[in-house]
Structure 1
Amino acid sequence: MKIKKWSLLFLAGMLVAFLAACSGDKAEETKGTADNKSNSGSEKVLNFINPEAIPSMDPALATDESSFVYLAATMEGLYRLDKDTKPVPGIAIDHEVSPDGLTWTFKLRDDAVWENGDPVTANDFVYAWRRAVDPATGSEYGPYMMNGVIKNATAISKGEMAPDQLGVRAEDDYTLIVELENPTPYFESLTTFGTFLPLNQKFVEEQGDKFATSSDTLLANGPYTIKDWKSTSNSWNLVKNDKYWDAKTVKMDKLTFKVVKDPQTAVNLYEENSVDRVDLTSDLVDQYTSNDDYTVTPDTFVYFIKFNQTKSEALANTNIRAAISRAFDKKALVEEILNNGSIVANGLVPKDFTPMPDSGKDFREVSGDLMKYDLDAAKQFWAKGLEELGTDKVELELLADDDATTKIMVEYIANQLETNLEGLTVKIKQVPKEQRLDLDTNMDYQMQVSRWGPDFLDPYTYMNLWTTDSGNNWMGYSNPKYDELVKATVTTLATDNDARYQNFLEAEKILFEDAAIAPIYQASRAQLISPRVKGVFINPFGATYEYKWADVAE
């Protein structure tokens, strides 16, 4: 078995004097056995599988892993993550930061164009960012990424100010000025994320409601264009964008993608040399562990159960939530059900993600295990909760995605909960990921298996999820002390990194004292990867895969 790891290092030059965070060397995919005519032909092609249809190709509306992967492949923002997970010039060639850290001036390249030949200008960023934070757009990530960061974003997202008051303006076509609410040393890292991509205003407005619903209603400015895609498509292609400013760096002519949800079908395609990378489920891991193509890559995605306190009297009870959070054996789940290198999660911020600025110790180690499997404690909390509710029976629904691995996992969790908590009945509801995301946004669920991967290298990317006004807190959770601690890390304590991390530690403890969520596991990826695949990197934050530097090994 070949284990490929990315180690997290301090991001020199990105977080400057105040913010100590860590960067990851990406896992470069180089193993496998698949063959393809592109090795000998003139066209370079790699073939991949995706676990679901793409939920959205609108940068303002995208909220999930798949969407951000294909946005990153077809579009480019101010900066882009390189193979070492460091921001490198994209549309921006350089920037300056004012002494007080509040004004960032980006100089843009003058040779970047959209797929239709229009120049990419500072106005494209102004339009896109205003659109993302405008309540009329209905973006989750716009407010989440910009509130408290870009000047006036919070007021705009609440409908208290007009979008044109956002702290972003075009001084000229190739000079973008951004004003921040508070010093944000990781802002350069933030600009690599999908929500901050530019948009061609004329094109978007011409498309109207059809924008980003098909290949014909999208406009690329990145390494690839997406072809043969509609919002319901189960297959699509990424084709080299010859008008991309750095097209000479893009080696691949085409990357093909097919939605395959059944793991055995995916492996069969790999064995037939039809695809160049597949994820392995637990039952397949044992079969392929000794295969030369087998690779395990640690990940920073944390899976957890969300409790919607507004849809169930039981889930509004802290003791009931505390009981459920402790009543299923996570060690057995990762070792027997997943069997892919994933590890138990007993907190929110993942292991090996960020070090403490004062000691260099891993944040997870310092914060400790905050929500462990503890059957005795679970039963005690359960009894207290039932007594408070005045009942001896509770029925709850557990929402989850409809892929095969998730099906096995939620069946295991439901069985554990029903077995260990007398009087509890759990009904499973599995739906396509896009539908689950809609149900989440509409708070139309009781319990939900969800996950979060970091958008930038700082604990705030996890901790801000559960503040009362967060655009991702769709479960009715609110704790004023938690809000105060988290918000201070980007306001009054923005330049005191030691104090920021102490706030994060205290806030995380409050989150689990309230049993707001139930952590399950921190993911790893067990895969078969063809030796043909070269230069495809896995990011520890942001878009999972970076395809710009993809190539075929000869």
Structure 2
Amino acid sequence: MKKSKLSLLLVLSLVLSMFLAACSGGDKNQGTDTSKNEGKDKPVTEESKLADKQELNVFESAEIPTMDSVLGTDVMSFTTLNAVNEGMYRLDQDQKVVPAGAEAMPEYNADKTELTVKLRKDAKWANGDPVTAHDYVYAWQRAINPETKSEYGPYFMGGKVKNADAIAEGKAKVEDLGIKAEDDYTLKITLERAIPYIESFITFQLFYPQNQKFVEAQGADYAKDAEHLLSNGPFKMTKWQGPTATEWVLEKNDTYHGAKDVTLTKININVSKDPQASANAFNAGEVDITPKLAQAAIIQQFEGSKDLIRYQEPSLFWIKMNEKNKALKNINIRKAIALSIDKKALVDDVLANGSIAADFLVPKEFAFLDGKDFREGTKPYLEMNKEEAKKLWEKGLSELGVKELALNYVGGDTETSKVSDSFIKNQLETNLPGLKLTIQPVPFKIRIDREQKMDYDLLFTGWGPDYADPMTFMDLMLTGGDHNKMDYSSAEYDKLVKAAQTDLAAKDQERWKALQDAEKILIEDDAAIVPVYQRSVNLLINQKVQGFAHHAFGPDYSYQWIKILK
């Protein structure tokens, strides 16, 4: 899913002054380095009793673009939806797919193209209505209906759920979609073909149910603010004034079937786009969980503290190059840009937070086959080479018949985004003579809109996986795809990715090789995007907060297991 850009760097002048301090400050891994979910194994004993007030204060770095589960495309929306709603399945604290709104894991037919899901009968909406199979059918049909204009509906279901493509193209009725209510609590899901990752796939927020009566009663106001939302999850949203709101409140949902296991009564969330202000608020006891911290100077303040939680996540950040721009249609210009950024120096010497330079699209330590990482057997693509970059740049300019080039670069509006974009601007303008880069910092929601409208030359973006398979990254760049949005097209890339989706779906090794070959075409042969880094997360979490869970794909976090200790 689209990731809010949480930055890379400090302004170059600031970086140089802070670098020596960071290097002399001891082991970078002194902070709590965890691949598990913080605090889940701590029992609440007589010595560590619950606090009287079970209220959590959280800072986030961006607003919520939407709370309509069929329209969401970003991590902020999905993390919040994960708190206030629930689908058939969810990720538990150990990243395992477990039943949520369902009674058990799916039952399959012989070729695994049909799933039968039995729903629990005690699940309710916050208004008291039962959550039924019809709510899932309605939501899925609404997501694929062309009139809804859902970006993720066709992207997620196309080629997977039976008849999804035909419906999205207006060639079939929404009622033909491969999801049926056999009765009030039994769903039959029919796939176009067996999908190896189907169970993690259907945990995703797009597949949550929606209460048809409620949605249709709200009309155009549905999900525009807290008043026009209906929850079936651990919490309900009691305050949110829409996509521009910088604060919102979640409260325990007493109608939730697992309410007895939810200890928190209230979560207060505020947007803070200044990392130092977030750190100061944490030190002052005003916030329990900060946004992800990316600036080395701020992280350095907390090295060695048990409040600092660090883990590697499978989120990739890259620069998109819009080939509708004649200059960026030129392969030599694109390769020159790709070869001009010293990513390793950037993450090691500037970011200094555990993030790693990325010369790839599918993250490290994310996808495995027979115990082997997807990255094994591949090489880095288009590593920095200033001399080669300059040669290709000059060749590209000659082919275009120009000596200079002016490009706009759409970045984020947070303080850390602004300084990271300044660093990248400095790198590109220094290494590519004649380039003038104009940075355009915009809020996350506007950046998404600019991307969708292809209103940019260069755009910094990121993606976090939606399910546990390389395909969650690889199908983004298919010709004409909803997430391509840069006019990139490669028949060979399309052929390999589509083969991995279809003919090779049950041939694990061949499928893996096809995706690896496609990745090489995308990044090295065509230089369609410029991968920049794979993020390491650094959070400040109050030690009294127990049961915080972070996830490898889908929503960033789950709050439902959190307890506040005295």
TM range (shorter): over 0.9
2:319 to 297, 300, 305: 305
SS at match of 1:315: helix
Q: Does 1:289 align with 2:303?
A: yes
Q: Alpha carbons of 1:383 and 1:30: their partners in 2 closer, same or farther (altered >3 Å)? A: farther
Sort the Cα spacing of 1:292 and 1:427 in 2 relative to 1 into closer, same or farther, 3 A: same
Distance 1:304 1:552 in 2: 37
Query: Is 1:337 aligned with 2:350?
Result: yes
Contact 2:59/2:272 (8 A) holds in 1: yes
* Residue matched to 2:517: 506
Select 1:384's aligned residue among 387, 395, 417. 395
- Conserved 8 A contact 1:30-1:532: no
Superposed CA deviations along residues 6-51 of structure 1, whole A, max 9, x for unmatched, are 2xxxxxxxxxxxxxxxxxx4455899xxxxxx9643x301111010
Q: 1:426 aligns with which of 437, 456, 478?
A: 437
Corresponding letter in the other structure for 1:301 = S
Q: 1:422 to 1:28 in 2, by over 3 A?
A: farther
TM-score, normalised to structure 2's length? 0.91
1:10-409 alignment, distance < 5 Å? 25-28=36-39, 40-41=51-52, 43-94=53-104, 95-231=106-242, 232-278=244-290, 279-280=292-293, 281-310=295-324, 312-357=325-370, 360-409=371-420
Percent identity between the aligned chains? 44
Give 3-state SS (helix, strand or coil) of 2:350's partner.
helix
Question: Structure 1 pair 324/115, CA: closer, same or farther in 2 (3 Å)?
Answer: same
Q: Distance in 2 between matches of 1:28 and 1:362?
A: 28
| Bigger mean CA offset, 429-438 vs 527-536 | 527-536
Q: 1:414 to 1:28 in 2, by over 3 A?
A: farther
One-letter amino acid of the structure 2 residue matched with residue 87 of structure 1 = V
Cα distance in 2 between the residues matched to 1:160 and 1:282: 53
Provide the rounded CA distance (Å) in 2 between the counterparts of 1:27 and 1:324. 40
Specify the code of the residue in structure 1 equivalent to 2:228: T
Does residue 1:550 correspond to 2:562, yes or no? Answer: yes
Distance 1:29 1:326, change over 3 A: farther
Give the corresponding residue for 2:19.
none
Separation in structure 2 between the aligned mates of residue 4 and residue 57 of structure 1, nearest angstrom: 32
Tell me if 1:535 matches 2:564. no
Which stretches of structure 1, 4 residues or more, deviate above 6 A after TM superposition? none
Structure 2 portions without partners, runs of 5+: 1-29, 43-48
Cα distance in 1 for residues equivalent to 2:396 and 2:225: 49
CA–CA separation in structure 2 for the residues paired with 1:472 and 1:389: 28
Q: Deviations over 1:42-97 (max 9, x none)?
A: x3011110101111111111111111000000000010110111111111112211
Distance 1:348 1:135 in 2: 30
The change in CA–CA distance for 1:473 and 1:449 in structure 2 (over 3 A counts) is same
Distance in 1, matches of 2:484 and 2:217, equals 33
Alpha-carbon RMSD: 1.5
Retained in 1: the 8 A contact 2:161–2:192? yes
Please tell me the residue identity of whatever aligns with 1:73. A
8 Å Cα contact 2:333-2:396 kept in structure 1: yes
> What residue in structure 2 maps to residue 5 of structure 1?
34
**Aligned-residue offset at 1:227:** 1.4
Q: How many pairs were matched up?
A: 526
Q: Distance in 2 between matches of 1:48 and 1:191?
A: 28
Q: For residues 73 and 150 of structure 2, what CA distance do their matches in structure 1 show? A: 9
CA contact (8 A) 1:227 1:237 kept: yes
Indicate if the aligned counterparts of 1:327 and 1:378 stay in contact, CA closer than 8 A.
yes
SS in structure 1 opposite 2:438?
strand
Conserved? CA contact 1:215–1:229, under 8 Å: yes
TM-score under structure 1 length normalisation: 0.93
Aligned equivalents of 2:551 and 2:381: distance in 1? 27
Say which SS state the counterpart of residue 103 (structure 2) adopts: strand
The amino acid across from 2:287 in the alignment is V
Secondary structure of 1:136's counterpart equals helix
Give the C-alpha shift of residue 178 in structure 1.
Answer: 0.6
